[in-house]
Structure 1
Amino acid sequence: MSQVPVFPPLMTGLAAGPANPFTIACDQAERGTDAGLIAWSVSPERLRAAIVLAPETPLASAMAGFIACGVGMQNALGALVPPETAVHLDWSGGIRLNGAHAGALRVAAATDDPSEEPDWLVVGMELTLSLPPDCEPGAFPDRTALDQEGCGGLDPVHILEAWSRHTLLWLNTIEDAEGRADLHREWEGLAWKLHDTVSVASDGTRIEGTFLGVDENFGMLLKTGGTTRLLPLSSLLEDV
């Protein structure tokens, strides 16, 4: 396995070792590090990474960076896993292989005010490479890992490198309306349970409804009963 990932120009790596790359990236962002920093960590069980972004738009629009990172991961896996392996994305950040959870994305920002331009935005990624040794196959049917889906031979560092390349391509497209429209179309083709019944967390509770689609800022349009609710993507922000 490769030891040190090679990232595209304008991106720099920071090995996190056993520490949490998401926490490290948020700390570095608060300290004023340049955009493009990727903190990363690889263990036999999981690949973790987090990228620092410096949006130049209000938070509501800047959250498209979270979507770009998710689509970048799907594109990276799509190019590396066997062709029969389906890779989808949950609206809330989940990464699914053949319908089961195999990882997730998370996000934090310098502000939670949708109208304010954040000084920084950090998107974290975690991918399950293998299940714990004491986990019996089938014990958790909604959970899986790369090695459970015939992808155990993939080098996680190669996945990380591919994620950085594909993510950079999408991040470069969201600066104009045409690029955002391209991202919108790409994401909708990958969205898990679009036009189906979903259960999502909102304000500390879970609500169920029909996932109708997303608005121009990728907020979820959720039909519950006779009402359609808009769940802004910024509602996924974590406190750090």
Structure 2
Amino acid sequence: MSFFARLTNRTAFGHLRANRNFLLLLIFFAVLPLTVSSLFIYFAQANQHLLTTQTMPALLIFHLAAIPAMALALTPTTFVAIVSGYFFSWYGLAGLLLSYPLAALLGLRLGGAAKALVLSEDFYLNPKIQQFLEQIRRDEFTMIIFTRLSPVLPFAMTNVALSVLKLGLTSFMLGTMIGMLPRTLIFFMLGRDAPEIWAFAQNPSLEGLHRLIPLLLIITSTVGLLWIAQRTLTRMNSQ
């Protein structure tokens, strides 16, 4: 059986249909950050003085607030990186490196709680699911890196998806930081150089070679995840 035939077999799709509320939860966490961050932009435009002070209390308050905001899917991580770079310069990068892992950990816990509410009780009892999870955990660290690397995979949505796998905490945290670092630095630097922050935050416009970097990250992430899926399915078939 071909790779794509195995990846899309009827048994798997039937099991996903039985847990369609979980798929709706993933979609919800993908759309919510874009909606809330747009509303935040309109509010912040009228209250820019709250951030333009560039004082240590302002930096701490912003990044402490960003932790639950990212974990609860209230704002995309790229948006936080852009705003942090614009208002706090290099001090903002330190804030990001502290707030991101804490937001990831909180998001994983919240994702696990949300998952428990929408997945059917027999999800982990399915032999195919058990076998798949057992095999994919063998590449969990690499998979987390590729998942976090993509600029198009929402942070909160991947937290929920990864919570299903019951991954090791060390692999999750380290893989998250390694995977998110490239795209975080890109949007942080773009935020530092943005001429008008709120227009740029709503529609980040990349010029020159900058346009190729997010595309390269997307391609690398997609190829990497497909490679892991191929390895997982090959091991399952060998058993």
Query: TM-score when scaled to structure 2?
Result: 0.25
Higher relative helix content: 2
Higher relative strand content: 1
Higher RCO (C-alpha 8 Å, min separation 6):
2
